[in-house]
Amino acid sequence: MKTKKNDFTPDPNLAIEIHGFTKRFKKFVAVDNIDMKVAKGKIHGFIGPNGSGKTTTIKSLVGAIIPTIGNFNIDGLKANSPAAKKIIGYIPENARFPKHLNVYQYLVEMSYLRDIPFKDAKVKAKKILENLNLWKFRSKNPNTFSSGMKKKVLLAQALIADPKVLILDEPAANLDPTARQELFNDLIRIKNQGKTILICSHILTELQDIADEITILNYGKVVFSGTVINASQNYYQFTVMEQPMLNDFEAVIKKLNIPIIEKLEDSLILHLEKESEQIKQIAHHAFEKKVILITIKPFVTNITEIYDRVVFSVNKNFGHASALTN
């Protein structure tokens, strides 16, 4: 794995660190000099439009793609080292299983690949299948299962070596609502056991309920990384006393060159870079125009809204078009 000359010092509080990662395919830059941090014991959502570089980043993290340049650490270990690979559990987007093995045999076989002794492998396989409510299906071939059941089998194989870090690529793809909820319930339970989970996904509504942190990738660049609470900072809702005042208030905001994120029936959602200073400025100019503001409050948001705002803002600045996928 190629790295920058000055390797960074791993942070002991982080499960995953990506520093200065770039991946080029000939002249095409798929990922452009990104940094990313995932705290230990958290569920971290890695989201972005199709083609934004998410899967390239994930595959580089697990060693399936060689980076052009960049540093990857897993729990303080170089990501491509044998020691790091032992503490990673990886779940790909698509499920493929041997035709000649049932679920139990498949898990035992996968244990061999992780250097788990045969006796221990049998015990581990049984315990994991029981925890995921799959034990009664142990004698069946997983190729006959529904998408949700196949995903559970993949989760079982990822857990077989008791990894510290789970990495999932589009885990909810092709799952019905019930199967999705069951999968995310399993992931929350696993997180509560002290494991770190990185989820690469475009199913934003589900991530809203389980993600502690998110990173948004767009056109190969990180455009936001942090907690949902942090993402909500700098957004304020200004509500006028009477709806007819809203047009005058909108004119005030445009004159001040402040971004209007959303226009509601009697209020505007604004993005403020310097909250204290700009709120005073807005209130002063609104008063001059006889616009009465009855409330000014932080605008609490969710992952989908954060995604929309951040990606829309970036695309607007660079002239790109990007659709939100749900």
Tokens 């909250």 identify what position?
275
CATH C-level class of 14-227: alpha beta
Q: Which of 155-164, 216-225, 317-326 has the lowest mean pLDDT?
A: 317-326
3-class secondary-structure state, position 41: coil
CATH of 235-298, one of 3.30.1360, 2.60.40, 3.90.1720, 3.30.70: 3.30.70
**Per-residue pLDDT averaged across 202-230, rounded?**
83
Per-residue pLDDT reduced to its tens digit, 142-194: 999 999 999 999 999 999 999 999 999 989 888 888 998 999 999 999 999 99
% of the chain at pLDDT higher than 90: 65
Between CA 156 and CA 49, with CA 212 as vertex, the angle to 5 degrees is: 80
pLDDT tier, 316 (very low <50, low <70, confident <90, very high otherwise): low
Residue pair 102/140 in contact (Cβ under 8 Å)? The answer is yes
pTM: 0.77
Question: In whole angstroms, what is the distance from residue 310 CA to residue 314 CA?
Answer: 6
% of the chain at pLDDT higher than 70: 89
pLDDT tier, 209 (very low <50, low <70, confident <90, very high otherwise): confident
Domain boundaries, the chain: 14-227, 235-298
**Per-residue pLDDT averaged across 107-127, rounded?**
93
Q: Which of 182-196, 241-255, 293-307 has the lowest mean pLDDT?
A: 293-307
